[in-house]
Every structure is written in structure tokens, then in C-alpha cells.
């Protein structure tokens, strides 16, 4: 048992119908408008909202929100748990995101959506992830669009001419930048690979995708799709299938 609970000198817990006097003052100081029942400070609320909107909160892009998250992490984590969401924080990479909580045998709602990707989307995601891991520890990982596209050229099938395949590559590139936000423009057709990619797509998912690649080998184009977890979880937006 906890030694503090066993100590005869420990303070007795307040009766359940009594609220510590300081809680009213704390709630009042956090209120942002008349009747506001929220208890988080404004910066922490904004950090919580950014996490729920997704796909992730970046300390580099949003230093004020990152500081608010670190300052109020237990309270923010508690509120996310009430939504069946778990908080993942990488203090070294300075990013955080939420994912569906693993509650074991307890059935819980699925809050974080999945993103359905084409075969080429998924291949590009894995190429970017491998580039990130290869250069890990060297600071920012910046690569050229041509470097990525060159590694993907092996996936051009006989029924796809160069123009059509280039169009598909550009569509996947745009999805990496605008929807998944795993790459950020660094100028001159070069991008920085976000370290969040290392955790958004973990080793287990990589193995599952590799198995899917083997399964669909030789299938007709258009049959190749794979689903990977996306940190986006805005329930107000249309489900992407």
C-alpha cells in the first residue's frame, strides 16, 4: 500500500459533497466568458483543440501551443482519455498526436479515422519513412522530389505511360504535404520529412503493408489500396474512404 495513505498523520480526504475552496478560484481564473465551465487555461485549450483537429501538434511550427501542452500535459491527457483518445508525445522531436486508446477487451468508440491510400501513396509513405530513419540523428532530413520519385519508378506498370504515372506521383506528393502533412516545403522542389512519420507509421504497420505488397503482386492496376493510420480525427469532416 502507499505509505502516505497508511500514515496516521496524513490528511483525511474531503467528504464527497465538499469542494476545496481553491477549486472555485481556479475555475474562475480559467473562465474565458460568462458561464464558461472549462478549467484549462486558454493556451492549453488551444493545444487540446489542435491535437483533436490533427494530424499532429508541432513544437517547431507552434511553439506557444507546444509549451502549453507540456505545462498542462496531465490535464490535457485526462480530457483526451474522456474521448477514448491516447496522447503520444515525442519531446525530442517536439511533436504530439492522438490515437485511439487501447483499452484491451473493453470495446471503445473509434475516434481517430483511418486514411485510405492508393498503392502508390503507400509506397511513397514508406520511401519517405526509410529516408527519415536512414538519416536519423543527422538533424533535419531534407530530400528532393526527384529522389523520392526515382525510387518509386519501379511501380510504373505497362499500362501507365510516363505522363499518367507522373500525374499519379504528383497527386501522392500533394497528399503527403497537404493531408498527412509528413513533408514540408523547403524550397527548390525539396522538402523536410517530418519526424512524426516515424511514429505515425510504426514497424507493425510497415510489416503489414509489406505483406499487402506481396499479396497484390501481379494484380491489375486499380486493385492496389492499403490503409494506414492517420492522425487526423476531425469528426466534423467527411469520412475519406
Every domain range in the chain assigned CATH 1.10.10: 39-112, 114-229
CATH of domain 39-112: 1.10.10
CA 145 from chain centre, in angstroms, equals: 23
pLDDT the model gives residue 213: 62
pLDDT recorded at residue 145? 94
Question: CB of 191 within 8 A of CB of 180?
Answer: no
| pLDDT over 90 (residue 212) | no
pLDDT tens track for 215-224: 654 443 444 4
Q: What is the mean pLDDT of residues 72-85?
A: 96
Mean pLDDT rounded to a whole number for the chain: 77
pLDDT confidence band for 230 (50 / 70 / 90): very low
- Sorted by sequence, the CB contacts under 8 Å of residue 128 that are 6+ apart come out as 143, 148, 176, 182, 183, 193, 197
pLDDT in tens, 115-140: 677 888 888 988 898 899 888 777 78
Asked if 122 contacts 228 with a C-beta cutoff of 8 angstroms, the reply is yes
The answer to whether 185 and 144 are in contact (CB under 8 A) is no
With H, G, I as helix, E, B as strand and everything else as coil, classify residue 120: helix
Own/partner pairs, 36-40, CB within 8 angstroms, 24+ separation = 39/75, 40/72, 40/75, 40/76, 40/79
pLDDT band of residue 144 (cuts 50, 70, 90) is very high
Fold of 114-229: Arc Repressor Mutant, subunit A (1.10.10)
pLDDT at 120: 87
Q: Is the pLDDT of residue 233 over 50?
A: no
Amino acid at each position: 500500500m502507499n505509505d502516505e495513505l497508511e500514515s496516521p498523520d496524513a490528511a483525511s480526504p474531503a467528504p464527497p459533497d465538499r469542494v476545496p475552496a481553491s477549486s472555485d478560484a481556479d475555475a474562475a481564473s480559467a473562465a474565458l466568458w460568462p458561464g464558461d465551465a472549462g478549467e484549462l487555461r486558454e493556451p492549453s485549450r488551444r493545444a487540446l483543440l489542435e491535437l483533436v483537429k490533427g494530424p499532429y501538434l508541432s513544437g517547431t511550427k507552434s511553439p506557444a501551443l507546444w509549451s502549453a501542452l507540456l505545462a498542462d500535459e496531465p490535464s490535457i491527457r485526462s480530457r483526451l482519455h474522456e474521448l477514448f483518445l491516447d496522447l503520444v508525445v515525442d519531446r525530442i522531436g517536439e511533436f504530439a498526436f492522438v490515437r485511439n486508446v487501447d483499452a484491451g477487451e473493453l470495446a471503445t468508440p473509434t475516434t481517430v479515422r483511418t486514411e485510405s491510400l492508393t498503392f502508390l501513396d503507400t509506397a511513397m509513405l514508406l520511401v519517405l519513412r526509410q529516408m527519415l530513419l536512414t538519416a536519423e540523428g543527422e538533424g533535419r532530413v531534407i530530400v528532393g522530389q526527384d529522389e523520392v520519385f526515382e525510387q518509386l519508378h519501379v511501380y510504373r506498370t505497362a499500362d501507365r505511360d510516363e505522363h499518367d504515372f507522373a500525374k499519379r506521383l504528383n497527386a501522392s506528393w500533394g497528399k503527403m504535404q497537404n493531408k498527412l502533412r509528413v513533408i514540408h516545403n523547403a524550397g527548390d522542389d525539396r522538402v523536410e520529412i517530418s519526424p512524426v512519420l516515424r511514429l505515425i507509421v510504426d514497424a507493425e504497420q510497415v510489416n503489414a503493408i509489406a505483406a499487402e505488397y506481396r499479396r497484390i503482386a501481379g494484380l491489375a492496376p486499380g486493385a492496389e489500396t492499403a490503409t494506414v493510420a492517420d492522425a487526423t480525427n476531425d469528426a466534423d469532416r467527411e469520412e475519406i474512404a
